[in-house]
């Protein structure tokens, strides 16, 4: 059975749904619209109006594609319901009526725990508290004849696992098959990241102007082939699939509400042009708890960026820092300075001769980080360092969010399939379950033979993919052959990572080996502060962290080719 994906986030390519339903055969089309930051956006949207709280772009996409999907028998499953899946289901029915289409729309609910904050010990200021549900509510909706299923917060892979389980009639203890579907779902749920987007070796991609969205051809045993529609841009290769498997993961166990996938069991092989087979998936019982996404407003944030040009950059930075702090009537609760030495000596353009000094302030009082802060910066314009200028005019402070992860007993969370006719089916929590435990470290490959080396970027031979994990981040690094794997496993240790990425020096870092993927994965705790919306660093989602690592110079064996 063929499952396509048309969305990796709220705001992804609008035309993707239409391209997928018209580009070739599909049994199911899925979309992932939710992320940690998205849940906060939708929570603020819902606070303005109870009828809101879902991904509105899903409806405009569906307006172009629903008729074609019904004609071709393609069922649609998406988590675009966000904080209001019932509202989105009603809106889809209204859209279908306006278009003159008969469609059975079902939805899944139960993930929203915000009204039970006190019961679970969540903070009173939490705007959104959503448990990550699994796939079996989707299965029930599809078994009931739904053409369109919308959900709230289910795991990203669940929108793929649900159709696969419904199609093949898997039971809840078919762990290996379910794990294989989780692997396929993890690869395609971020859309074109599986077909050459955000890819370390993007020069290998023949046509990245308009990459096609991915498809998983899933077999009855859970193994799959990742591909895309014929004639579309991009690339599906072992490397592009490896990169996405390493995205936003932790250790060898990848826990989902229905099964725990052993990432160290997966084997990849090229199965033809733009076709990669994922086989060997092993599954274990899921954990007894569900992760909960908790989003709150942390306060207000503002920033000013000063341009420092030419000579004496550090002295200029010191001067304006002392001046601004002395001129603040009230010191914000948080005040951070970052100097980016983007300047070059004897530069042939003014921009290349300039560094950027950034001041970020946060406080619960919008006035403290609003005009009081901005005006203090502007007042220095004729009284500070030579060449004083900023990258943008002053402005008011903006709300920022705080993300935390909670965990609750899965049996305490309702999981309900609401069918097209309004009947409701309760979905029992998983049983049996198994508490996650550390995996015994994988055996190290043989030590590499000593030999001559050259100083060069790590990225000459290694790919990387990084991303946010709450307040932490992961960086997965992989290589392409056994010789490089032996070198990588012995060379890129936690201590080496701290040396290459000094920002990680005082943070907890854990390394995991994935020999089947010739990859190491690092989980770096605390590097993103209190989550993406907190914007603790200039790359708040850690998307470029892996590319920074690849750019650092190491001693590469001379016989390793770029």
Average pLDDT, the chain: 96
Q: ∠ at Cα 377 (374, 380), nearest 5°?
A: 150
Report residue 392's pLDDT band, with 50, 70 and 90 as the boundaries: confident
Q: What would the two tokens of residue 254 be?
A: 């990848």
Bridge-partner residues for 130, per DSSP?
A: 112, 293
Q: Report whether pLDDT(394) > 80.
A: yes
- CB-based burial of residue 326 (10 Å sphere; 0-12 exposed, 13-18 middle, 19+ buried)? exposed
Q: Of the candidates 78, 62, 59, which has an alpha carbon nearest to the alpha carbon of residue 70? A: 62
Q: Of the candidates 56, 24, 30, which has an alpha carbon nearest to the alpha carbon of residue 42? A: 56
H or E, element range at 228: strand 224-228
What is the distance, to the nearest Å, from the Cα of residue 199 to the centroid of all Cα atoms in its chain?
Answer: 14
Q: What is the pLDDT of residue 530?
A: 86
Question: What is the C-alpha to C-alpha distance for residues 257 and 131, in angstroms, rounded to an integer?
Answer: 10
pLDDT (average), residues 108-126: 96
430 DSSP 8-state letter: P
Report residue 537's pLDDT band, with 50, 70 and 90 as the boundaries: confident
H or E, element range at 37: helix 36-48
- Give 298-402's CATH code, choosing from 1.10.1200.10, 3.40.50.300, 3.30.70.260, 3.30.70.380: 3.30.70.380
Q: Report whether pLDDT(421) > 90.
A: yes
Q: What is the pLDDT of residue 126?
A: 94
Q: Report whether pLDDT(402) > 80.
A: yes
Report residue 8's pLDDT band, with 50, 70 and 90 as the boundaries: very high
Q: Report whether pLDDT(535) > 90.
A: no
pLDDT (average), residues 387-391: 95
Q: What would the two tokens of residue 510 be?
A: 């854990």
Q: Of the candidates 439, 507, 502, which has an alpha carbon nearest to the alpha carbon of residue 469? A: 507
One DSSP character per residue, 234-301 reads S---HHHHHHHHTTT--SSEEE-SS-EEEGGG-EEEE-STT-EEEE--EEEPPPSEEEEEEEEEEEEE
pLDDT (average), residues 254-274: 98
Question: In this predicted model, what pLDDT tens digit does every residue of 538-561 receive, in sequence order?
Answer: 899 999 999 999 999 999 999 997
* Cβ(238)–Cβ(272) below 8 Å: no
H or E, element range at 16: helix 16-22
One DSSP character per residue, 179-213 reads HHHHHHHHHHTTGGGGTTTT-TTGGG-S--SSBPP
Q: Report whether pLDDT(395) > 90.
A: no
Question: In this predicted model, what pLDDT tens digit does every residue of 71-101 receive, in sequence order?
Answer: 999 999 999 999 999 999 999 999 999 999 9
Q: 3-state class of 306 per DSSP?
A: strand
Q: Of the candidates 557, 547, 289, which has an alpha carbon nearest to the alpha carbon of residue 413? A: 289
pLDDT (average), residues 268-292: 98
Report the C-alpha dihedral over residues 198, 457, 521, 135, rounded to 10 degrees: 10
Q: What is the pLDDT of residue 69?
A: 98
Q: Report whether pLDDT(215) > 90.
A: yes
Q: Report whether pLDDT(354) > 90.
A: yes
Backbone angles phi, psi at 164, to 5 degrees: -65, -45
**Whole-number percent of the chain with pLDDT over 70:** 100
Question: What is the C-alpha to C-alpha distance for residues 153 and 110, in angstroms, rounded to an integer?
Answer: 9
Per the listing, tokens 């014929």 go with 230
Q: How far is CA 420 from CA 85, 103, 200, 276, in A?
A: 13, 9, 44, 37
Q: How far is CA 183 from CA 57, 73, 263, 283, 424, in A?
A: 27, 25, 8, 10, 30
Lowest mean pLDDT among 42-46, 479-483, 504-508: 42-46
Q: Of the candidates 32, 33, 80, which has an alpha carbon nearest to the alpha carbon of residue 185? A: 32
Q: Of the candidates 109, 118, 132, which has an alpha carbon nearest to the alpha carbon of residue 287? A: 132
Q: Of the candidates 190, 269, 256, 192, which has an alpha carbon nearest to the alpha carbon of residue 223? A: 269
* Cβ(133)–Cβ(151) below 8 Å: yes
Q: Of the candidates 398, 353, 29, which has an alpha carbon nearest to the alpha carbon of residue 188? A: 29
What is the distance, to the nearest Å, from the Cα of residue 1 to the centroid of all Cα atoms in its chain?
Answer: 26
Question: What is the C-alpha to C-alpha distance for residues 2 and 23, in angstroms, rounded to an integer?
Answer: 13
Question: What is the C-alpha to C-alpha distance for residues 25 and 435, in angstroms, rounded to an integer?
Answer: 40
* Cβ(3)–Cβ(215) below 8 Å: yes
Question: In this predicted model, what pLDDT tens digit does every residue of 13-66 receive, in sequence order?
Answer: 999 999 999 999 999 999 999 988 899 899 988 988 888 999 999 999 999 999
Q: 3-state class of 441 per DSSP?
A: coil
pLDDT (average), residues 278-287: 98
Q: Report whether pLDDT(562) > 80.
A: no
Question: In this predicted model, what pLDDT tens digit does every residue of 140-173 receive, in sequence order?
Answer: 999 999 999 999 999 999 999 999 999 999 999 9
């Amino acid at each position: 059975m063929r499952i396509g994906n048309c969305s990796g986030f709220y705001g992804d390519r609008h035309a993707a749904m239409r391209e997928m339903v018209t580009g070739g055969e599909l049994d199911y089309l899925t979309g992932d619209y939710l992320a940690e930051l998205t849940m906060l956006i939708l929570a603020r949207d819902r606070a303005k109006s109870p009828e809101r709280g879902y991904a509105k772009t899903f409806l405009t996409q569906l307006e172009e594609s629903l008729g074609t999907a019904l004609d071709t028998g393609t069922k649609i499953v998406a988590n675009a319901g966000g904080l209001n899946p019932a509202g989105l289901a009603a809106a889809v029915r209204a859209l279908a009526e306006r278009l003159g289409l008969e469609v059975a729309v079902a939805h899944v609910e139960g993930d929203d725990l915000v009204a039970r904050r006190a019961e679970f010990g969540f903070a009173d200021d939490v705007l959104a508290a959503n448990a990550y549900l699994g796939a079996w509510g989707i299965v029930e909706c599809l078994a009931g004849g739904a053409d369109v299923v919308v959900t709230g917060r289910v795991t990203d892979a669940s929108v793929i696992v649900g159709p696969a389980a419904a199609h093949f009639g898997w039971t809840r203890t078919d762990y290996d098959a379910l794990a294989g579907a989780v692997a396929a779902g993890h690869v395609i749920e971020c859309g074109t990241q599986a077909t050459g987007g955000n890819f370390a070796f993007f020069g290998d991609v023949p046509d990245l102007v308009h990459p096609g969205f991915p498809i998983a051809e899933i077999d009855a045993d859970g193994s799959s082939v990742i591909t895309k529609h014929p004639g579309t841009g991009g690339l599906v290769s072992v490397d592009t699939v490896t990169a996405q498997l390493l995205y936003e993961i932790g250790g060898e166990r990848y826990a989902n509400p229905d099964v725990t996938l052993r990432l160290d069991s997966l084997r990849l092989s090229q199965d033809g042009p733009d076709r990669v087979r994922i086989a060997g998936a092993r599954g274990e019982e899921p954990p007894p708890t569900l992760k909960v996404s908790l989003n709150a407003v942390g306060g207000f944030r503002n920033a000013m960026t000063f341009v420092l040009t030419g000579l004496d950059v550090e002295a200029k930075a010191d001067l304006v820092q002392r001046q601004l702090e002395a001129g603040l009537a009230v010191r914000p609760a948080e005040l951070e300075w970052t100097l980016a030495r983007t300047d070059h000596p004897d530069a042939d353009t003014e921009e290349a001769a300039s560094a950027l000094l950034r001041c970020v302030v946060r406080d619960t009082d919008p006035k403290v980080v609003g005009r009081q802060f901005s005006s203090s910066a502007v007042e220095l314009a004729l009284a500070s360092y030579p060449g004083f200028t900023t990258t943008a005019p002053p402005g008011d402070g903006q709300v920022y969010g705080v993300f935390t992860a909670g965990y609750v007993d899965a049996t305490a969370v309702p999981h309900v399939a609401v069918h097209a006719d309004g009947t409701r089916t309760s979905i029992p929590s998983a049983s049996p379950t198994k508490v996650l435990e550390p995996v015994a470290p994988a055996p190290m490959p043989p030590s590499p033979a000593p030999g001559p080396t050259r100083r060069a970027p790590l990225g000459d031979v290694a790919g990387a993919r990084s991303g946010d994990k709450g307040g932490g981040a992961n960086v997965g690094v992989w290589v392409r052959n056994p010789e490089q794997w032996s070198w990588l496993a012995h060379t890129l240790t936690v201590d080496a990572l701290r040396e290459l990425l000094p920002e990680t020096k005082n943070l907890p870092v854990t390394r995991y080996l994935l020999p089947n993927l010739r990859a190491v994965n690092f989980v770096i705790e605390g590097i993103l502060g209190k989550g993406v919306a907190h914007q603790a660093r200039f790359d708040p989602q850690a998307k470029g962290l892996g590319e920074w690592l690849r750019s650092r110079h190491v001693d590469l064996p001379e016989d390793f080719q770029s």
